[in-house]
Structure formats: C-alpha cells, structure tokens
Amino acid sequence: MKEMVQPSPAASTARPQGLGARQICEALREQILGGIYETGSQLPSSRGLANELGVSRTTVTVAYDQLVAEGFIEVIQGARPRVAASLVGSKATSAVPKRTGPIHLSSYGERLRASPPRSDYLPNRLKVDFRYGDLAPSDFPALTWKRAMNAAMSQSTGRLAYHDPRGSHRLRQALQGYLWRARTLSCRVEQILVVSGSQQCLDLCARLLLDPADSFVIEDPCYRMARLVFASTGATPVAVAVDSEGMKTELLQEIPARLAYVTPSHQFPLGGVLSISRRYQLLEWARRNDAYIIEDDYDGEYRYDIRPVPPLHKLEDRSSVIYVGTISKTLSPMLRIGYLVVPAELQDVFATAKQLLDRHSPVAEQEALASLIESGGYESHVRRVRRLNGERREALLAVLQRAFADSIVIEGADAGLHVVVWFKDLSRSLEDILVEEARRVGVGIHPISSLYIRDEGRADRIGLVMGYSALTIRQIENGVRLLTGAVQRVKSLASTRQHPQ
C-alpha cells in the first residue's frame, strides 16, 4: 500500500509529525481520479491503512468519511470501502478537460471585455503621483470615525438581519438636512437612496434608464468611468464639447437621447461651471426628449473663490434630474458610500434594483456617517479639508508658475481637487515620451487626452490633469521640480529630432 498512498510533498512538510486526514483524503482522491483505483475496486481497511501510514485509525476514518461525502467511495457495514460505482469509466482523469473553444459571454460581458476600465489600484512605487481622486491619509478623521463606528457596531448587534435597500433611515434623514444646508437642495427622505459609492449610482441609472438601442449624452472630455458604465448597456455615447461655461447645450437641440450625464458645478476635468442659461437649455432639452439628467456633484464641497455653486437639481423642474452625491472626496473612497436623490416616481424602482444588486450597503458605516452628520462633525471636517486642499492648491499653482511661467495655461483652479495644465510648446505627439520620462524619475502624470471621446476634441498640445489632494506641500514642490526636468529633456529630444546634426 505504500506505493499507492504517497503523501504529497505539501502534506509531508505541512505536518512534520505525520499525515493528517486532509492529506490522506487528497492523496486517495488523486489516486482515484488518476485511475490507480478503478471503479468498484477496494481500498484498504481503515485499520490496515492506519498501520501502514503510522497514524491513528480515527484519522483514516475521517478521511474516508470525507471521500464518502464527496461521492468518491462507498462504505458497506463490515466490508472494505470501494470506489463508488457512480465514477463511470475504467480510468478517471485527474484534470478537467481544458476548454478548447472560445469563451462565450453575454452581450454585456463581451462589451466589458472589449473596453475594460483602466486599473485604479496598481501598486504605486512613484516618489510623487499627481493622480486625481486620491485623498491624503492624514486628512481622514481616524479617531472620530473609529468612535462613530464603535457606537454603530454596539447598536447594530441588536438586529443581525437584512436592512432596507434604500439605506439607513437615520442616514437619509441626516443627508436630507445636510443637502439643504450645504447645497440648498430640497427633497423628501423617500427620494434619497444610499448606495455603494457614486459608481453604483451610475450603474443603477444605466441599468434602469438605458437599452442597447438608446443614446446618452456625455461631456467631452468626461469622467471615463461614467462613459464606460453607460456604454456597458450597449447604448451609444453622444459626445458634446465643453468650454469655460460647461457643456455646450446649444449643440443638444437636434440630439435625441434617453439621458444626459453632466458635472455642472465643476465640469470634470476642465473645471467649468454650467451657466444659468445653459442649465435652463439642458432642462428644456430633457423635457422635450422625455430624458433624464444625471447630475454628478462629485466634489461640490470644494470651491475656493465663492460659495459652492447650487446644483442643477435646485432649479424649478426636478422631475427629470437625478442627483448623485458621494463622500469619496471628503472622507474616503474606501468607505464606498454614495447617494442618489431621484424623482418621486423613480424611488421604488431604484430601491428594487438596489435590492437585487446587493441587498443593501453596509449598515454600520451608514450609521457612523449619520452620527457624524448629526453631530456637526462631518461639516466641520469638510471645512477643514477644504482649507487643507486650498493650501495644497495654492502651493501647486505657485510652484507651477515659478517653474513654467507663461509656457503653460492652467484651467479649473477655482474648485475641486485637481487642475488641468496645458503645455503650450509641447506637441501631443510627445505625450507618451513625457509620461515615460516623468515615470523614470519617479513622477506620475496623467494626460487629459485619454478623457476625450472624439479625436477632433483633443488638443494638439499636451495637457495634464494634476491632482493634489493626496500630496503634502513638500511632495508637490518636489514633484513639479522633477517634472520640470522631464519636460526640459523631452524638449531637448524634440529639438534634436527637428534639427539633427
């Protein structure tokens, strides 16, 4: 029997004092699948195998019981175990045959495979990364959040069950008050739906409002993850250019679409604010086309020149506006808490879709956030991080001006957590070279060109979206210094190419 039941190398190293039931079970399973034991053949008795392997009979019995439960062997009282008759074939194979044909996915799956989103969580080995959307760990109110979570966990143990898919009623009440105080947005608690981040907000809108034959309007350039989630339904994007006053809504007149996705308070990524006349044009377009407007207020708390701009939702016709909010830019994207304010006629179907998607969002985090808002701690934190990010913004603008002077143009500096920097004398044909050269010296830079949909929308010069909210002032200064050197080397390379000696 020694040659038939050999402990695997893993088993022998895992248990130096002898084989365990799991290792014996695995070895026998492999031998049965490999055809060493044929269908109907007998295995050793539990006593005999225990003596052979130097283990207790109980250990072997446990292994045999597992093989019985898995259907590999049959045990009859008073007889030795046999390989189960249900294992058809004189020789079993230990490996499932590999798939030889193409992978068949749904239409949705094929669309995802064709256009996968860029990874946002790759290991970062850079000295300075100007990636937009990240927050500084030092800004997070760790002690305050820990206390709120501890209180929420101690209260939630009284009911370990599924909860309302719309979200914690306490949090929705707190959000109702916060939205009125901070954004002058008026709504009923029933219209608020708590979800797992703003990305799930967009996913729910896409699932419920778009069919494959539909079209959706989106800004150009735009938030790429929004475009991908809407396009994943099979709907067709209609890119509309933007300027300093946001989306050029006059271009919408002849465009039929089911929805329009906009960032009116701070256009992503260029930073324009949708003018009041264009807001009314957009609402009129939605009424005329029986369409919905998805208003993404992704960083509405960060305005450095004036008070935050009131949302589109505040205007008189709210029946076509779906408001998207998040705490990812104020507390942390790791918490995955976002919220929707939907028209009254949509609140039930959105709650149903949320329930089918993931039942409900984590409850303890919702209760902790509710506590933070009720106590005033959340708004105090927002004021604090607005001040800190304002200081980072000032540092970035100052060091960019010193380094590049009038060779750059900066857009979107009045709000948000990033700026767009255009290099007047760097052709976009040098973009990949600049990215590589910057990375070589430890700086992560992120061209704006990837955020455009239409080729004709892309400028012929290099533009960078430079986030600063995760960086210290020293890192900002060091990063721009390293970037300056990279830019100079790329310019020299370009000059050499144009005027070879």
Both structure tokens of 464 = 């960078």
Q: Produce one character per residue of 231-242: b if its CB has 16 or more CB atoms within 10 Å, e if not.
A: bbbebebbbbeb
CA 201 to chain centre: 12
Q: Give 133's contacts (C-beta < 8 A, 6+ positions apart).
A: 120, 328, 329, 333, 417, 418, 467, 469
How does residue 14 score in pLDDT terms, banded at 50, 70 and 90? very low
Strand order in the sheet with 408-411: 408-411, 418-427, 461-467
Measure the CA angle with vertex 199, ends 462 and 332; round to 5°. Answer: 85
**Which of helix, strand or coil describes residue 266?**
coil
Please report the pLDDT score of residue 90 as a whole number.
43
Maximal CA-CA distance, the chain = 95
- The candidate with the shortest Cα–Cα distance to 301, out of 335, 269, 328, 274, is 328
State what percent of residues in the chain have pLDDT above 70: 91
Specify the CATH class of 9-83 in words: mainly alpha
How does residue 501 score in pLDDT terms, banded at 50, 70 and 90? low
Which amino acid would we find at residue 380?
S
Residues of the chain with CATH 3.40.640.10: 140-377
The pTM (predicted TM-score) of the whole model is 0.86
What DSSP string describes 359-418?
A: SS--HHHHHHHHHHHHHTHHHHHHHHHHHHHHHHHHHHHHHHHHHHGGGEEEE-TTBSSE
- The candidate with the shortest Cα–Cα distance to 385, out of 37, 77, 125, 141, is 141
Element (H, E) at 73: strand 73-74
- Using CA atoms, how far apart are residues 267 and 279, in angstroms rounded to an integer? 13
206-249 confidence digits (pLDDT tens): 999 999 999 999 999 999 999 999 999 999 999 999 999 999 99
- The candidate with the shortest Cα–Cα distance to 43, out of 67, 23, 19, is 67
Please report the pLDDT score of residue 309 as a whole number.
79
- The candidate with the shortest Cα–Cα distance to 256, out of 206, 217, 220, is 217
A 10 A CB-CB count for 306 gives: 9
Q: How many residues does the chain have?
A: 501
Residues of the chain with CATH 3.90.1150.10: 381-498
Specify the CATH class of 381-498 in words: alpha beta
Residues of the chain with CATH 1.10.10.10: 9-83
Helix 363-375 to helix 142-156 angle (10° resolution) is 120
Q: What is the mean pLDDT of residues 44-70?
A: 92
CB-CB contact of 301 with 351 (8 Å): no
CB-CB contact of 87 with 39 (8 Å): yes
18-31 confidence digits (pLDDT tens): 689 999 999 999 99
354-370 confidence digits (pLDDT tens): 999 999 999 999 999 99
Domain 140-377: CATH architecture, name and number where available: 3-Layer(aba) Sandwich (3.40)
416-434 confidence digits (pLDDT tens): 999 999 999 999 999 999 9
- The candidate with the shortest Cα–Cα distance to 67, out of 37, 112, 107, 97, is 37
448-467 confidence digits (pLDDT tens): 999 999 998 899 999 999 99
Q: What is the DSSP letter of 444?
A: E
